[in-house]
Structure 1
Amino acid sequence: MELDGGLLVGHDGSRPAGEAVRWAAKMATRLGCPLHVVRTWSLSSAPRPASARGGYVPPMTDFEAAVLERLEHDIAALGLPIDVDLHCHVLHGSSGRRLTEASEGADMLVVGSRGAGGFRGLRFGSTADQVVRHAVCPVVVVPVDGSDDPADLDAQLRAQPQ
């Protein structure tokens, strides 16, 4: 994925990632630049494609399409400003590595301080740590607010449709 400016934000489906997207959307609107929302995925994290049947493993493109559909659904549910120039992308691979690679063409990278993975009680996740250390552009880490219960984040993830 090659960007030519704009804000890049990672979204893994978690509430903190949703807050990061909301923050980035407001900033992109103020700056008049595009907002690129990225979801990284692997076969183990991708939703099951509609083409999946017993004994048939769909091609990677079907998994990618299922991830993109889920991302677009999740972003639509955030109620972002309608005037934001929004682009959704899905990238196969680890989130820290792929966001760092994509940061080469971004003006700013935005992530939530904690996402869907990791351990209970963690306030700064591994992806945030990686991109702060290795991104080429400036990084904004949107904090998980003090009322956020890590156990609640885990419950939200279990409740998401697979």
Structure 2
Amino acid sequence: MSDQKASTRRIVVGVDGSGPSKAALQWAARQAELAGGVVEAVTAWEYPSFYGWGPAGFDFGDNAGAVLTQAIDEALGPDRRGEVRQVVVCGNPAAALLDASRGAELLVVGSRGHGGFTEALLGSVVQHVVQHAECPVVVIRGPAEATRG
């Protein structure tokens, strides 16, 4: 663990650009402000199974970073208070969140649900981090209209 991670109260939040992840980011930012900490917004990407078939020169990491920046801007606005660190990781989203959350105060994730009866269920990434995180996990449900689409 880096000295910076060890000395700073961090709230790690998973951001994928969805409505629930933006709601989780908003919640994490308010909590970080109350706790005197920083938000570490984490997004993860993986090469698609069809890698090599896409447009030449497409950079998945740059695209993920742009999605993260846009989600932060949309969720927190340009006049946001407090520090928000952006972390883009190549790898499995659940593993990236678990790794980033080591030594953190909290891990915050948004849950999309799937409508109807399955709305009570957690997604696979959320379920995995809830079961394996070494810090407390907060699951934020986004507004119903944000989960569709």
Aligning the two structures, in what range does the TM-score lie when normalised by the shorter sequence? 0.7 to 0.9
The gaps in structure 1 that reach 5 residues or longer are 46-52, 156-162
SS at match of 2:16: coil
- Cross-structure match for 1:101: 99
Aligned match for 2:25, one of 21, 29, 43: 21
- 8 A contact 2:14–2:21 mirrored in 1: yes
Larger helix fraction of residues: 2
- Cross-structure match for 2:69: 72
CA separation in 2, counterparts of 1:24 and 1:132?
A: 16
SS at match of 1:68: helix
SS at match of 1:24: helix
Task: Give, in angstroms, the shift of residue 105 of structure 1.
Answer: 2.6
- 8 A contact 2:16–2:67 mirrored in 1: no
Aligned alpha-carbon RMSD (Å): 2.5
SS at match of 1:12: coil
- Cross-structure match for 1:12: 16
SS at match of 2:112: coil
Task: Give, in angstroms, the shift of residue 125 of structure 1.
Answer: 1.0
The gaps in structure 2 that reach 5 residues or longer are none
Task: Give, in angstroms, the shift of residue 30 of structure 1.
Answer: 0.9
Task: Give, in angstroms, the shift of residue 112 of structure 1.
Answer: 1.1
CA separation in 2, counterparts of 1:131 and 1:105?
A: 14
- 8 A contact 1:114–1:128 mirrored in 2: no
Q: Is 1:30 paired with 2:34?
A: yes
SS at match of 2:102: helix
- What is the TM-score when the length of structure 1 is the normalising length? 0.73
- Cross-structure match for 1:139: 137
Task: Give, in angstroms, the shift of residue 82 of structure 1.
Answer: 1.9
* Amino acid aligned to 1:20: A
Larger strand fraction of residues: 2
SS at match of 1:77: helix
- Cross-structure match for 1:89: 87
- Cross-structure match for 1:153: 147
* Amino acid aligned to 2:137: V
Task: Give, in angstroms, the shift of residue 154 of structure 1.
Answer: 4.1
CA separation in 2, counterparts of 1:31 and 1:17?
A: 20
Q: How many residues align?
A: 137
SS at match of 2:98: helix
